[in-house]
Amino acid sequence: MNMSVPVLRTWMKAVSEISRAVNVADPLDVVLTRIADRARELIGFDFCAVMLSDSSDAQLEIVGWSGLTQDYVGEFRNKGSLQIGPISPEADSPAASAFRSNRTVTISDVRQNVPLYGRLMVSSLMGYNSLVASPLRGERKPIGVLVGYSLPARLYGAADIELTELLAEQTVSAIHTARLRARREWAEQEHRRLMQLVLDEVGLDDLVQSLGNVLNASVAVIENDGKVLAATGNADFTSISKTRRKLNVRPNGELTLITRQVGSDGRDAWVAPVVIAGEVAARLWVIGNDAVPDTTCRRLVEQFALVVGIDIMSTRHALEIEERLSGDLLADVLQEQNTSLPQVLLERGEALGFDLNAASHVILVRGHTIVERLPDVARRIRRLTHVNALATSYRDDVVFLMSETHGSGQGLNRALSELSGTLALPLTVVISPPIHHSSEIRSAYLAAVGAARLRASGGATGIVDLRDFSVLSLLAMADSPTAYHRRLANQLIAPIAEQDDRRSTDLVPTLRTWLASGFSVSRTAGTLTVHVNTVSQRLNRIESLIRRDLKPAATRLDLQLALHVWDIVQTDIPSDCASSRR
């Protein structure tokens, strides 16, 4: 198409005006209205409309127009926008046809095409008799239609059609630029809002909830070990956290955002690395129908991963300070020689949310280089037990002062067992007797140290639970040389255990039950479900093996203490022994 210089200047002026409107960030309807104005001026239309498809490509909506009356525009809006895929010819229109076919449609005389396009009957509202509809071609499909109307019947030639299509191309470019600018501004606004939430210290849960609302998707932050730090939405992040996914790496070593298919439903997911100090500390998952967004949303997700990193780093810093303060407090408590703790220590405990006078236990963990693993050990114990605890490295051990709560026993045993396995270290773990007042903390610690010393003297490791042991025995264990205790156990319990091993006589379980039943033969027989004569015979055999009379109180006390020591120094405590202590 050849253009004269004046026409070319007019076109360049129109394109420049449209570009300025986009660059100054005018609203999209304002930009499209200016395009409609320029279409009337450049191509000679009496009216012009720019129609865009809705998000589902079901209807066309008039967004910008020039010369059309409000009644005409209202006619479309009141009866619903133009259907792109009408169910009958009566509901079809040239604009919808141009959109569907992705080609320009011309109507020289509407009176001749009413049977083909029923919507042409509304032309009487404006009095137009001809029109041209050119699709606004996007990258993959049309995004709308540019429609020019003329009052008289008009035969549109090749030049008219080419000019209309050229202006349609400019319209697409303007729409794309305006939308991109709006999306960027939206993303920047959301990023600033998220950063403000971080400054307001709302917490990771609220941050994740906010991003989920913005993206209309399920969002989660999952640590490398599979722990879900925060999540929102209906996605099954529990199963996702068990998977191991490798993040893409650019040639320069920079981590990139990736997209993967996850789950049986085949929904897309975005996985963004949360990097702290050059290392991936966690992963940000976004799952949903809209989880794979455009470039703008992708940038928002990447920025949010930075926000999450800042929040995690802040949380870790706060935890490190809290752990240091709690460690200093517990070390001071263990060093305190007075019967009652000074008020200043109690107040320091209250400031950390820990009541030193409440029921608790001392947990002592002993093992090679265990002190160097204090942060990891403390984190695992707290995560698995969900119990408030002070933790410190004291001498060569890791020591906890742990609140006693309902059901904490099972969680503690599970945590300690997992700890021994995951650290791959031979550990001796001692659970102290119950502490009912702060004045008992040091005594409980000394009892745990004595039990650990006894355990080590037998060359054994594992868990030693002193929660049901007598206080008298524990104090003896803490304050007396371990050699005496082992000698007592070897003299009184070893001969009985050896007899059980050789002949399966169940003498040790009988002795344990007899001591626990108040030295009653009948109650012992009832507990073991045997005849009283059987119990008497076994007790007589025990007397013969240890060469001591069971009647004196001193013998019975020695047997109780020896049995406690025997349980501690043995690598494996028989299940019947453990059950009898519960």
Residue 550 is encoded by which pair of tokens? 């069971």
- What is the rounded average pLDDT for all residues in the chain? 78
DSSP 248: P
- Given a cut of 90, whether residue 313 has pLDDT beyond it is no
Alpha-carbon gap, residue 496 to 539, rounded angstroms: 11
Query: Which segment of 118-122, 313-317, 541-545, 571-575 scores lowest on mean pLDDT?
Result: 571-575
Q: Can you read off the two tokens belonging to residue 463?
A: 């868990």
Q: Is the pTM of this model over 0.85?
A: no
What are the start-end ranges of the E strands in 423-542? Answer: 428-431, 462-465
Say if residue 279 is exposed, middle or buried (CB neighbours under 10 Å; 0-12, 13-18, 19+).
exposed
Percent share of the chain, pLDDT over 90: 15
Q: How many Å apart are CA 210 and CA 368, to the nearest integer? A: 45
430 vs 74: CA distance, rounded Å:
81
Whether residue 174 is predicted with pLDDT greater than 50 in this model: the reply is: yes
Query: Looking at residue 469, what is its pLDDT?
Result: 60
Q: How far apart are CA 358 and CA 403, in angstroms?
A: 7
Is the confidence at residue 326, as pLDDT, over 60? yes
Q: What is the pLDDT of residues 387-437, one digit of tens each?
A: 788 989 888 898 999 887 545 556 666 776 777 676 767 888 888 878 888
CA distance 163 to 61: 23
Residues 6 or more apart whose CB falls under 8 angstroms from that of 237 comprise 218, 220, 222, 228, 231, 285
Per-residue model confidence as pLDDT tens digits over 181-232: 777 777 777 777 777 776 776 778 888 888 888 778 888 888 877 778 888 8
Q: What is the pLDDT of residues 357-389, one digit of tens each?
A: 988 889 898 888 888 888 878 877 777 777 788
Three-class DSSP category at 278: coil
Task: Kindly give, in sequence order, each residue whose CB lies less than 8 Å from that of residue 105, ignoring residues fewer than 6 positions away.
Answer: 94, 95, 97, 98, 132, 133
Look at the chain and count its residues. 582
* Mean pLDDT, rounded, for 541-564: 87
Ramachandran area for residue 459 (φ above 0: left; ψ -120 to 50: alpha; else beta):
left
Residue 192's contacts (CB-CB under 8 Å, 6 or more residues apart) are: none
> Per the structure block, which two tokens stand in for 362?
């001392």
48 within 8 A of 67, measured Cβ to Cβ: yes
More confident residue, 295 or 29: 29
- Residues 284 and 221 sit within 8 Å (Cβ to Cβ): yes
Positions of E strands within 294-453: 360-366, 389-394, 397-403, 428-431
Contact 235, 225 (CB under 8 A): no
How far, rounded to the nearest angstrom, does the alpha carbon of residue 271 sit from its chain's CA centroid? 12
Is residue 579 very low, low, confident or very high in pLDDT (cuts 50, 70, 90)? very low
